[in-house]
Amino acid sequence: MWVWPAEAEPEAPDATRAEPVDEVPWDDMMRRHGRRVVVALVAQGVPLERAKELAQDAWLRVIDRHRRGHITDLQLPGLVIAQAGFLARDDMRRRDRRSRLDEPHRQAAANDLSLDLEDQLDARQRLRVVRSVLDRASPNAQRVFGLLYGERAMSPAEVATELGLSVQRVRQIVCELRKRMRAAIAEPGRKLR
């Protein structure tokens, strides 16, 4: 169909070829295809405001990768829609993981409320016993235990690398410590309450 010259859209540079950065009118491309990217995300169930944020991130990633020369075949808006889809799935996975991690904490809090005072005192006493066994352990054993069960819990292999020990030695140290802790907790005559 022929269109009157006054009504014709200005021709955008061919964005399907890898062009030098200054020749790709990114603002025009975003205006032209931005809505499609957001609509594609909303169609996947992403809330509108989050879809706008993810679309913006997708555009920035595509622009950055193009400027670095990593994208040779620039196909818009398909490339940006695909990138936004990846970001949306990552976002969803992150939220699911976070909610799964939060669930045990919620359950633990509910369980803590259900513990009666006697059980709480018993648990505190056991922690004191464990702490005293740990305090009497060698500095090397304390470091191993701290790295394995501390704030930034590491795997036995990572602890072995960090301390210059074998993985077997790390496991042996932990087993010995646990054995002493269990014995101290179960010691007859020790009053736990």
**What Å distances lie between residue 117 and 114, 128, 130, 186, 191, CA to CA?**
9, 17, 20, 21, 16
Q: Out of 79, 102, 125, pick the residue that ends a domain.
A: 102
Region at 20 (left for phi over 0; alpha for psi -120 to 50; beta for the rest) = beta
Q: What is the mean pLDDT of residues 99-121?
A: 67
Lookup: tokens for 89: 């799935």
Asked if residue 120 and residue 94 are part of one domain, the reply reads no
Asked if residue 172 and residue 149 are part of one domain, the reply reads yes
d(C-alpha 123, C-alpha 125), whole Å: 5
Which pLDDT score, from 0 to 100, does residue 186 have? 85
Confidence of residue 107 (pLDDT cuts 50, 70, 90): low
Number of domains composing the chain: 2
Which pLDDT score, from 0 to 100, does residue 161 have? 92
Asked if residue 96 and residue 19 are part of one domain, the reply reads yes
Confidence of residue 22 (pLDDT cuts 50, 70, 90): very low
Asked if residue 98 and residue 14 are part of one domain, the reply reads yes
Asked if residue 66 and residue 26 are part of one domain, the reply reads yes
Amino acid at 164: G
Does residue 1 belong to any structural domain of this protein? no
Q: Would you say residue 190 has pLDDT above 70?
A: no
Confidence of residue 179 (pLDDT cuts 50, 70, 90): very high
Q: Would you say residue 116 has pLDDT above 90?
A: no
Confidence of residue 110 (pLDDT cuts 50, 70, 90): low
Global confidence as pTM: 0.43
Which pLDDT score, from 0 to 100, does residue 175 have? 92
d(C-alpha 34, C-alpha 12), whole Å: 15
Asked if residue 40 and residue 63 are part of one domain, the reply reads yes
Asked if residue 126 and residue 97 are part of one domain, the reply reads no
Lookup: tokens for 1: 């169909």
Confidence of residue 157 (pLDDT cuts 50, 70, 90): very high
Q: Would you say residue 5 has pLDDT above 50?
A: no
